[in-house]
Structure 1
């Protein structure tokens, strides 16, 4: 199972998300202007499926509904809204990109004391 998940992340999900991430960075001026980011709903005629996702933000945990279909997969829809999915297919958890950026900066700059966080 772990091997299949790794294969899907490295060969399908991440390559498909790179252009979405580059567009997100351009649109938000490298995450400096994220106030307007919202989950967008697809206007296609595909059959949609409701997905409920817990969203971890800097100041709250929210529960949001995401309508997904074959032409608008959940990881891409979440990333367009500034959220990183924690699963490659039907994520139930997504983390705000700013939270991930904060954690990265914190771990890069903190002292090597493992009880600091």
Structure 2
């Protein structure tokens, strides 16, 4: 599942995260994402591990905004391909 379904969807979010992190371009102002997939939304609690501390976050996930993609966009790598409850800092 990782290699066929999840990892390919993480390439662009990861590259965008790296560009923003390196200062290669001005970070665009984030506008609120409007879901248009029509699927049911779920809240997912994720423990995010930084080098210095641990942080709990809540994600609003659906088919068009899966948890792994949102986590990579925030600078974390998910520890599970589906409904991860733990992620580590990139």
Which bin holds the TM-score, normalised by the shorter protein?
0.7 to 0.9
Q: Which residue of structure 2 lines up, in the alignment, with residue 44 of structure 1?
A: 35
SS at match of 2:45: strand
Higher relative CO (CA 8 A, sep ≥ 6), structure 1 or 2? 2
CA distance in 2, matches of 1:18, 1:55: 20
Of residues 37, 47, 59, the one that matches 1:54 is 47
Aligned to 1:28, the other structure's residue is in SS state: helix
The alignment's C-alpha RMSD in Å is 2.0
Match in the other structure for 2:65 = 72
Instruction: Kindly tell me the number of residue pairs found equivalent between the two proteins.
Output: 82
For residues 81-100 of structure 1, the aligned pairs below 5 Å read 81-97=74-90
Structure 2 residue runs of 5 or longer lacking an equivalent are none
Name which one, 1 or 2, has greater alpha-carbon Rg: 1
Q: Which runs of 4+ in 1 moved over 3 A?
A: none
> TM-score of the superposition, structure 1-length normalised?
0.63
The structure with more helix, counted as a fraction of residues:
1
Structure 1 residues not aligned, in runs of 5+: 1-7, 31-35, 98-117
